[in-house]
A and B are shown apart, each in its own frame.
Chain A
Amino acid sequence: MPHSLDLGELGFDRGAGVLLAREARRANAGDELLLRGRAAELGVHLSAWARERGHSLRVEHDGWRLVFGAAVGARRAGAARAGSPEPHGVAERADARWGLAARGSLVEAGVAPVAFRLDSAESLWFADAAEFYRAAAAAQWDPSSAIPWDAPLEHPDDVEEALVTVLTYLIENETAALIVPARFAAEVHPHYREIQQILALQAAEEARHIEVFSRRASLRRGELGLSTVGGQASLRTLIDEPDFARAALLLSVLGEGTFLQLLAFLREHAPDPCTAEILRRVSADEARHVAFAMAHLGEHVRRDPTLIARLESAIEQRHDALRATAGLNEEVFDALVLLAAGSYEPAAIAEGHERVQELVAQMDAGRRMRLRKLGFDSERAHALSSLHTRNFM
């Protein structure tokens, strides 16, 4: 007994095609469907609709008899599932023929393969990726409402100048920190979407940091500070690193890890409430970036003991590449001293200098602690930390 469908007053101008497509999805070639309907142009439209889809249509005394053609269901024949939708079921290797398809979707055969360079769980995936993404997504903030832009700026011009010098340096560093995850996000197979999403959020967060640093820098002064050859050369080595794990180590564990101490220092010595709040917000974001890289690399080191050697060589190679550069911009170092000092009074400067020396020592201690957590012994952690760029990031 053929299936039947009464379209009532529904014509193709009001969605009759949706009901017919549903019938076609359920049908096999040769199945019949008895159709009735009262829409004015239904007969003309049914005929054209059926012809375009390879079905045949016969007029009956009280409606139409549709016979589904051989093409019905063809798009699903040979189609393959793009893995399982759940993050705990990701594939060891993502198929290029899944292309841009949603994880777990049914992919029509014949999709032109899309070559994503990072396409294996071995190089990308880690167990808590979904949780890291959720936490990052929940922590986003709006610069226009989160920062007290109208708070008074009552510190001396010298201190403002020092702050702008440091902000100029921070913007440059955050630009590198935006480019690196953005580039990897475009190279990650979408099957590992949580990794792609985390990287995309990191890039968005760095974009926001660049915005707030720039806006703060222009609150009282028209000009930004100096961008140096050595600083840019240091950041260039981050941008040029093609290996995902090595880039995560250099940028997030060592660079952003070092920045955690720098941002805390700047927050402590922030000359105004606006700057302090910016640094509080930015620190929280950067702490997530460091935590993600630590969790990710930690799991991969446990799975692949040879990774430690690759990470070690990344630090050494970067150090070699930067051996001939000047390191930290001298103006930035002096500005940090002045921010901690609060004025050019010799006694205050001595105090500020002391604080910056402590900061550098804290940065080193932080790097060594993180390297040990990743699996380096104390001696190697000490040696490798000392090879880290003098530019901090």
Chain B
Amino acid sequence: MSHSIVLGAVAYDPKVVTIWDGFQRFFAEHDLRFDYVLYTNYERQVEQHFAGAFDVAWNSPLAWIEAERVARARGRKATAIAMRDTDCDLTSVLAVRGDSPLRTLADLRGKVVGVGASDSPQATLIPLEHLAQGGLVAGRDFEVRRFDVLVGKHGDHVGGERLAAQALVRGEVDVACMIDGNHLAFSKDGSLPRGSARILAQTGPYDHCNFTVLDGADAASIARFRELLLGMRYDDPKVRPLMDLEGLKEWRPGRTSGYALLEQACQRTDWLAPFLRHMGAA
């Protein structure tokens, strides 16, 4: 067994251990030594990636942008080598109550917008960017009510979005922001009872997580890791439970064309500045 990979991942849920333990067994069966390191937050993970603590990062979209910006500032190169099919072309929605008189973005002036964790691309950064592109500035044109659940985990935990949806139903906020898939889930599970909410606006499409590597990683091991991932088939009963847990039907080659909206959001709010200063990359 000549190839070896250490992965960095964020423990946003206890199932993360089950997932990567499962991948460890899968890779071992294919002659790839695999281990993983868990972090409580993505910023520590990006920092440790540059410190050489592991080979591949399972990065949130915001962590990808952080890594890419640090790499650029240090004259290094970050590459997204693979992602889930379910990471591609997501959208977020801005929901209002079913009986709300609000019809357009302009109607949101003076209103309260419920968002998820402050570092959630899907429930906070991208929806607020959508409003900004429509001419509405947070704090000036509308009030932001944050449902800050597990900051540092970049909104991987559904809690903030569910709290925002519940606050909408209770009339505590005028708008709730969430990823389209969670709007579907909340509509089905009754968190958004029928008729209680309607979608006022939908953001443009964006991409989510990816496996990130930095230049200097062992190319042959990375290639083997990526080859095994892309070769996983959902009709293989041995790997299907893992794919179900990780929420995908197939792995796809990484692409970075789907992060423009989030980059614009970061740029407009100077969101990355504290982290980039910490990393000496400002």
Contacts and interface: CB of A to CB of B under 8 A. Distances in A.
Interface string A58-91: 0000000000011100110110000000000000
Interface string B65-105: 00000000000000000000110111101000000000000
Q: Which 5 residue pairs of A and B lie closest in terms of their CB atoms, listed nearest first?
A: A54-B249, A110-B237, A109-B237, A74-B235, A71-B249
B16 to A, nearest CB: 19
Interface stretch (B3-11, B50-58, B151-159, B191-199): B191-199
Nearest to A78: B237
B202 A53 contact: no
B49 interface: no
A237 interface: no
A357 B241 CA distance: 66
A41 B249 CA distance: 24
B177 to A, nearest CB: 13
Interface stretch (A9-17, A194-202, A212-220, A263-271): A9-17
B187 interface: yes
B250 A47 contact: no
A70 B86 contact: no
A127 to B, nearest CB: 35
8 contacts: A41-B198, A41-B199, A44-B202, A45-B184, A54-B250, A70-B250, A71-B249, A108-B237
B250 A71 contact: yes
Contacts of A11: 187
B164 to A, nearest CB: 17
A48 interface: yes
B36 interface: no
B79 to A, nearest CB: 24
Nearest to A57: B89
A13 B250 CA distance: 27
A45 B202 CA distance: 11
B249 A69 contact: yes
B86 A13 contact: no
B90 A74 contact: no
A52 B86 contact: yes
B97 to A, nearest CB: 13
Interface residues of B, number: 30
A35 to B, nearest CB: 15
B240 interface: yes
Contacts of B91: 44, 47
Contacts of A13: 187-188, 192, 194
Choose among A12, A74, A78 the residue with the greatest number of B CB atoms under 10 Å from its CB.
A74
Interface in A236-290: none
B9 to A, nearest CB: 21
A51 B85 contact: yes
A41 B188 CA distance: 12
A70 B249 contact: yes
Interface of B: 85-86, 88-91, 93, 179-181, 183-184, 187-188, 192, 194, 198-199, 202, 233-235, 237-238, 240-241, 247-250
Interface string A22-43: 0000000000000000001100
Nearest to B194: A13
A333 interface: no
B240 A74 contact: yes
Contacts of B248: 54
A49 B249 CA distance: 13
Given A13-B192, A70-B250, A78-B237, A51 B198 contact: no
A74 B85 CA distance: 16
B201 to A, nearest CB: 11
Given A12-B184, A51-B86, 5 more contacts: A13-B192, A14-B194, A47-B91, A54-B250, A77-B235
A54 B85 contact: yes
A49 B187 CA distance: 12
Given A12-B188, A17-B188, A48 B180 contact: yes
Contacts of B93: 44
Given A40-B198, A44-B199, A49 B184 contact: yes
A9 to B, nearest CB: 12
A55 B187 CA distance: 21
A98 to B, nearest CB: 14
B234 A74 contact: yes
Interface in A309-359: none
A64 to B, nearest CB: 14
B235 to A, nearest CB: 4
Contacts of B233: 70
Choose among B89, B180, B194, B233 the residue with the greatest number of A CB atoms under 10 Å from its CB.
B180
Given A14-B194, A41-B187, A44-B199, A52 B89 contact: no
Nearest to B199: A41
B234 A51 contact: no
A362 to B, nearest CB: 60
B199 A40 contact: yes
Choose among A71, A77, A108, A109 the residue with the greatest number of B CB atoms under 10 Å from its CB.
A71
Contacts of B240: 74-75, 110
A70 B188 contact: no
A158 B280 CA distance: 95
A63 B47 CA distance: 47
B234 A48 contact: no
A243 to B, nearest CB: 35
A327 to B, nearest CB: 56
Nearest to A74: B235
